[in-house]
Amino acid sequence: MVFSKDAEEAAAEDVRSVRLQATVIGPYPAIKAGLADLMQKHPSLALESMTFTKNGGTEKTVTADLAFVLWYRGH
């Protein structure tokens, strides 16, 4: 599902965005809980993409590559 605003409408509201990227390594449940907490505390933050990679056969950790967009109103 994609949400987008007309460029003219967004410009009229002076809505701006910043893209952020993060890599997190840890147990999947901890990453999932941390991500849920982050999204709840920052409603203007949108998760754009996430990719999980398992770190070996017996490892219990995963690597999560996360991309966010932070929306805000400019001055």
pLDDT for residue 2 is more than 60? no
Distance CA 75, CA 57 (A): 51
At 58 the pLDDT is 79
DSSP-derived letter for residue 55 is -
Q: Which CATH number fits domain 15-73: 3.30.1070, 2.30.30, 2.40.160, 3.30.70?
A: 3.30.1070
Report domain extents, the chain. Answer: 15-73
At 47 the pLDDT is 97
Tell me how far CA of residue 45 lies from CA of 21, 58, 59, 67, in angstroms: 12, 34, 31, 10
Question: What's the whole-number mean pLDDT along residues 25-32?
Answer: 95
pLDDT tens track for 29-40? 999 999 999 999
Distance CA 30, CA 6 (A): 37
pLDDT tens track for 48-75? 999 999 977 778 899 999 999 999 987 6
pLDDT for residue 1 is more than 60? no
Question: Nearest-5° angle of CA 16, CA 20, CA 26?
Answer: 150
